[in-house]
Amino acid sequence: MFYKARPQDLYFYDEYCKGKWIVFDFQCPIDFGWDFLAPIEGIVQRIRELGGDRTIDLIRFGAFLERITTSGGASGDFTETPRAIALPTAKNEIEFIGLVWKEDGGITYVALKEKYAALAETMLQGEAPLGKFTEITA
């Protein structure tokens, strides 16, 4: 059996946020199904529940969130709280896939981990993104 780190040994940022991301936007407010996505506050709560001093994780996650939500033409001026795109796994963990948020003018922004970049086509449903896809390394 391999060693699995205890929750207090894990760093949320390293596990869920580090790596390459793509950010894109499109003219659609995505109102239908918005309530099925977890508000970003849930991630902050999850970080706190890991136990121990999570100050570093919270600071890193805050910086990550600011960087992602102000990239690719996004202003970071939300009309809706950013939501997490995540799936539960068989190992009782979550696979953090990305973030989605709304800004003024009915523009929706999406940030996906690079390995899930193909989901952009599923989300766009044939619509063209407003701008180019922006790649970010966190």
β-sheet bridge partners, residue 102: 80, 108
Name the residue with tokens 């809706």.
80
User: Residue 2 pLDDT > 50, yes or no?
Assistant: no
Compute the average pLDDT of residues 8-31: 72
Dihedral sign computed on CA atoms, order 19, 12, 89, 120: negative
Amino acid at site 36: F
Mean pLDDT for the chain? 77
User: Residue 7 pLDDT > 50, yes or no?
Assistant: no
Q: Is 117 helix (H, G, I), strand (E, B) or coil?
A: coil
Model pLDDT for residues 78-89, shown as the tens digit of each residue: 887 888 888 888
Q: Strand locations in the chain, DSSP E?
A: 20-27, 38-39, 78-88, 94-103, 107-113, 134-137
Contact 54, 47 (CB under 8 A): yes
Compute the average pLDDT of residues 50-68: 80
